[in-house]
């Protein structure tokens, strides 16, 4: 049976890091001038690629870490620091500014910058490795992490389909409020990852 707390942690962390709502204002300029069908195809392709990348790191991430001699406690601490910096960017709006700098329209933006690094960025990759590590070899928990990731990316795709109306409904102020609330949650979760890493080292 899957621990409810673990499921909630996985859902909240991945949702905050991937940030489907925050991707909407970036998706619009990247697909400007496209028909609804073309936008849908770009969004679907980007989400499928992102799922593939995140699944790869979720399943093979620990093996890569072991190959280069990095322990899971060390990676939890490093990942927690990375997520905390991401939270600071969200709280002070630097993340949005940086992402907007990567949204130069292209003929097909599905691979870059939509799939990588906007959806499957460093934070999302680190989160997948951390959450699979927290599963401690429990196959059901590992599958749950990946299903949650797919659900979050699917939510991003659903929001891409209603990008225009959603952006108008939220407005600039609504987007800022949501981003800052998610940033606070991510800051708390990142600190917990750091604490878990320190405890895993066995210092205390």
For residue range 118-172, list pLDDT tens digits in order. Answer: 899 878 998 999 999 888 889 999 999 999 999 999 999 999 999 778 767 777 7
Evaluate whether 153 touches 51 at the Cβ level (below 8 Å): yes
**pLDDT tens digits, 34-68:** 888 898 999 999 999 999 999 999 999 888 888 88
Residue among 200, 50, 52, 51 nearest 133 (CA): 200
pLDDT for 13 equals 93
Q: Is the pLDDT of residue 80 over 70?
A: yes
Cα distance between residue 108 and residue 106, in whole Å:
5
136 conformational bin, left if phi > 0, alpha if psi -120 to 50, beta if neither? left
pLDDT given for residue 145 in this prediction: 96
| Radius of gyration of the CA atoms of the chain, in A | 17
Buried b (16+ CB within 10 A) or exposed e, 189-203: bbeebbebbeebeee
Q: Model confidence over 8-27: pLDDT tens digits?
A: 999 999 999 998 988 887 78
pLDDT tens by residue, 157-202: 999 999 778 767 777 788 778 778 878 887 888 888 889 889 888 7
Cα–Cα dist 41/16, whole Å: 25
More confident residue, 102 or 110: 110
């Amino acid at each position: 049976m899957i621990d409810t707390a673990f499921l909630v942690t996985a859902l909240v962390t991945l949702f905050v890091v991937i940030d489907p709502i925050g991707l909407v204002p970036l998706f619009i300029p990247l697909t400007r001038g496209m028909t609804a069908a073309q936008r849908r195809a770009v969004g679907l392709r980007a989400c499928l690629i992102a799922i593939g990348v995140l699944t790869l790191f979720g399943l093979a991430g620990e093996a890569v870490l072991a190959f280069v001699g990095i322990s899971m406690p060390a990676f939890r601490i490093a990942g927690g620091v990375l997520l905390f910096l991401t939270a600071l960017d969200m709280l002070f709006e630097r993340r949005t500014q940086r992402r907007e700098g990567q949204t130069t329209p292209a003929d097909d933006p599905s691979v870059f910058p939509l799939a990588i690094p906007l959806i499957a960025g460093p934070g999302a990759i680190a989160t997948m490795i951390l959450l699979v590590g927290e599963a401690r070899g429990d196959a059901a928990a590992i599958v749950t992490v990946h299903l949650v990731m797919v659900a979050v990316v699917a939510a991003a795709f659903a929001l891409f389909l209603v990008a225009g109306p959603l952006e108008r409904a939220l407005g600039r102020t609504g987007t800022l409020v949501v981003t800052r609330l998610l940033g606070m949650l991510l800051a708390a979760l990142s600190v917990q990852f750091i604490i878990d890493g320190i405890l895993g080292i066995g210092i205390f």
